[in-house]
Amino acid sequence: MAVKDVTDSDFKEAVLNADKPVIVDFWAPWCQPCKRIAPVLEQFSEDRDDVEFVKINVDDNPTTTLNYSITSIPTVARFEGGEITQQAVGALPKAQLSQQLGL
C-alpha cells in the first residue's frame, strides 16, 4: 500500500474517521528532511496493513496544519480515534521513527 495524499477537504474522512490508526506525514516539497523520510514511510506502508499511511502538504493545506499546531516539518503523527496519540518531529532514523510512532 502506498502513502496516499490527503487535503484539508478530505482529512476528516481519511484520518479522523478512519477505523484503524493513521500515520500522517506533514511535509512540503521544498523540505529536504521530508524527502529523506518519505521512502521510510513508504516502506512502513508496504509492511503494515493494520495502519493507514497518508501525507499532507503543509503549504497547500494550511487549515489542517494550523489545527494541529504543526510548526516544524517533517512532523509525523499517529492518529487513533481522531486524536494524535504519538508524534515524531524531524528526519529520524527508521528505528526511532518506528519506536516513536508505535510501528
Torsions phi, psi for 81 (to 5 deg): 60, 30
Residues 44, 98: contact at Cβ < 8 Å? yes
Q: Output the nine-digit C-alpha cell for 26.
A: 506533514
Residues 4, 25: contact at Cβ < 8 Å? no
H or E stretch including 63?
A: helix 62-67
Indicate if 2 belongs to the active site: no
Per annotation, catalytic residue among 14, 15, 23, 34: 34
Per annotation, catalytic residue among 3, 24, 31, 58: 31
Indicate if 39 belongs to the active site: no
Q: Which residues are catalytic?
A: 31, 34
